[in-house]
Amino acid sequence: MKFDNKTGHSFLKLRPLLEVLLVLAGGFIYGAYIVRSSAFTVAFTAGLLLFFVLARSPLKALSFLLFVVPFSQMQLLNEPVVDLPGARPFLLLGVLVVVIVMLNYSKANRMPRLLMALAGALFVFFAVSVFRAFSYKEIIGFATDQEYTDLGFFLSFLIKPLVYFIPLIIVAKFVHDEHDIDFLVKTIMLALVVLSSCFLFYYVFNVTNKSDIEAVWKTVGTELRLQKGQAASLYTICFPMVLARYFATKDRLSLLAICLCLPSVGFLYSRTAYVTVVLAFPLYLLFSRRLKFFPILVVLAIVVSFLVSETIVERATKGLDTENVEEILSGRLDKQWIPLTMEYLSDPQKLLFGQGRNAVLVSESYKIGLFPGATHPHNMYLELVVDAGLVAVIPIVILLVFVIKKTYALLRREQDSSMREYLCGALVSMICYFMGGMTRGSLFPVLENSYFCAVLAMVFVIGRRPRTPVGQEQAGLSGSHVERELSKIEQ
C-alpha cells in the first residue's frame, strides 16, 4: 500500500492522540490487575523495569537469563504469580527475552549453516517427541506427581524447555566481536560462582554435621529444587570455561571462581561431576599446549587427595577396588540399560522412531520396576533412542561430531590469544559434556543445556568474526583502519 505525503502528514497529526489512547488503555489494564492480584502486579512491574533496562541489548537480556537458570526450579520462579496458564516468572522472563530479540532483530547476524542444521534437527525431533507423548500425558503426570491439562502439558514440556534453547539463538545472532564473547564467558563464570556460593552458604549455616558431605547436597538440592544430575552437568559444561577465563585474563576473579567451584563440586556428591571436572585440567593443558605443566598438576592432585574428605574419595572410587562395573555404574548396566536396549532391538519400529518424550515411562522395562522413580534412562544417548529413535540419533550425532572437528580446527589456526583460550575451553567443555552424558543428561532442551547451547554457538561466533592480519595488530592497525587507508590510496 502506498501513502502520499498528505496521508503521512495526517497520520503524524493523529500520532499523539493514538499514543494517549494507548497509555490510557495500558493504565486501565494495569489498574485492573492491581485490583485482581498484587503478586502479578509486582511481577509485571519488575518485568517492565527489566524490559526498559535490557530492551536495546539481547546479549544483556541473555546474561540475566543465564544467571537465573540454575535457580529456575525454585518456588519463587516456578510457581504461577496468577491463576493463568504459563504465568510463571521464569517462563515470563523467557518471553521477555524473546520480545527483546524481536525488537533488535535488525542487528542480528546470519545463522551459520551447520549450527542452523543442528538447531533445526534438535527442535524438530524434540517437538515431534513432545506431541507423541501427549497420548500418555496421564502416565507422565502420575510419575511426576503432577496433573496436566492439555495446555499445561505443552507449556511444561514444549514451551518452557525452549527457554533453555534461547542462548543458542541469541549468541549466534547477537554476539558480534571479542568484547561480546568475553562478556558471555564472564557471565557463565559468574553464574557458576553464584551457584557455588550457595553450596558454601548452606554448608556454613544450614548443615549441622560439617563432616557429612552428602548432607550439603541434600540441603542445596531441596532449597533450589535442583536435581543432582542437573547440577553435575552445570559444572561439567561451565568449569572448563572458568579455566579458559583464567588463562585468558589471569585476573583474581577467575582464580576465585576456580577456588569456589572445586569444593562445591565435592559437596555435589556426584561421581560424574568428579570425573569430568578433574579430567578438565589435563584436557585443557593438552589442547592449549601446556603439557610442560602436567607434572605440576600431578603433584597438586596428590597433595589435594590427602586433603579431600574420605567420604568424597570413597564416593569417587566406588567399585574401582573390586573392578565391579555394576557397582561403578550403580547397577544401571545390567539392570536398566541392557534390558531397555534389548526391548528396543526386538521392536524395529520403536528402535527407528522411538515412542515420544519421557518414553521410558511407557517401556516394558519401566513397568517391571527397573527404573524406580526415574523419568529418563540416565544416559542421554539411550534417552534419544528411546524418545526419538535412530532417525534422530544418527543425524544429531553426526552434526555434533562436525562441531567438534570445527572447534579443533579453529583452535589450531586462531591467532588471538584470548579467543584461543575460549576455543580451548569450549572444546574441553564439549568433550566432558559428551563423556558425562553416558550417565546422565539429555540432548534435548533441558535446564543445563542452556549453557551448552551458549558455548556451542560461541564457537561459531569466534570462527566467523573478522580477523586482523598478523603484523597489523602489533603495529596498532585494525582491519577497518587498513581498509580505509587502502581506499584513500585507490582514490
Tens of pLDDT, residue by residue over 349-394, are 999 999 999 899 988 888 888 887 778 888 899 999 999 999 999 9
How many domains does the chain fold into? 2
Neighbours of 444 (CB within 10 A): 25
Q: What SS3 state is found at 146?
A: coil
Q: What length does the chain have?
A: 491
Q: Closest Cα to residue 108, out of 31, 17, 173?
A: 173
Is the pLDDT assigned to residue 240 strictly greater than 90? yes
Task: Express each pLDDT in 312-324 by its tens digit.
Answer: 666 666 666 666 6
Output the nine-digit C-alpha cell for 433: 559434556
Please provide residue 91's backbone torsions phi and psi, each rounded to the nearest 5 degrees: -65, -40
pLDDT class for 234, splitting at 50, 70, 90?
very high
For residue 391, is it within any domain? yes
Residues 6 or more apart in contact with residue 341 via CB below 8 angstroms: 382
For residue 9, is it within any domain? no
C-alpha span between 364 and 367 (Å, rounded):
5
For residue 184, is it within any domain? yes
422 and 442 assigned to the same domain = yes
372 and 273 assigned to the same domain = yes
For residue 50, is it within any domain? yes
Q: Residue 111 — left, alpha, or beta (φ > 0 → left; ψ -120 to 50 → alpha)? A: beta
Of 9-13, 31-35, 459-463, where does the model show the most confidence? Answer: 459-463
Q: Which of 79, 103, 127 is the last residue of a domain?
A: 103
280 and 402 assigned to the same domain = yes
For residue 470, is it within any domain? no
∠ CA 453-167-102, nearest 5°, is 145
Q: Which of 81, 103, 125 is the last residue of a domain?
A: 103
- Where do we find the cell 498484587? 38
286 and 211 assigned to the same domain = yes
68 and 150 assigned to the same domain = no
Is the pLDDT assigned to residue 488 strictly greater than 90? no
For residue 73, is it within any domain? yes
Neighbours of 246 (CB within 10 A): 21
Full residue range of the structural domain in which residue 208 is found: 109-464
270 and 338 assigned to the same domain = yes
Measured N-to-C along each axis, helices 380-388 and 338-345 cross at an angle, to the nearest 10 degrees, of 30
For residue 204, is it within any domain? yes
Task: Express each pLDDT in 244-278 by its tens digit.
Answer: 999 999 888 899 999 999 888 888 878 888 889 98
Q: Which of 103, 127, 160 is the last residue of a domain?
A: 103
Average pLDDT score, the chain = 81
For residue 481, is it within any domain? no
**Model pLDDT, residue 50:** 66
Q: What SS3 state is found at 4?
A: coil
Cα 92 from chain centre: 18
450 and 350 assigned to the same domain = yes
pLDDT class for 283, splitting at 50, 70, 90?
very high
Q: What SS3 state is found at 375?
A: coil
285 and 203 assigned to the same domain = yes
99 and 113 assigned to the same domain = no
71 and 150 assigned to the same domain = no
168 and 301 assigned to the same domain = yes
87 and 160 assigned to the same domain = no
CB 448 within 8 A of CB 248: no
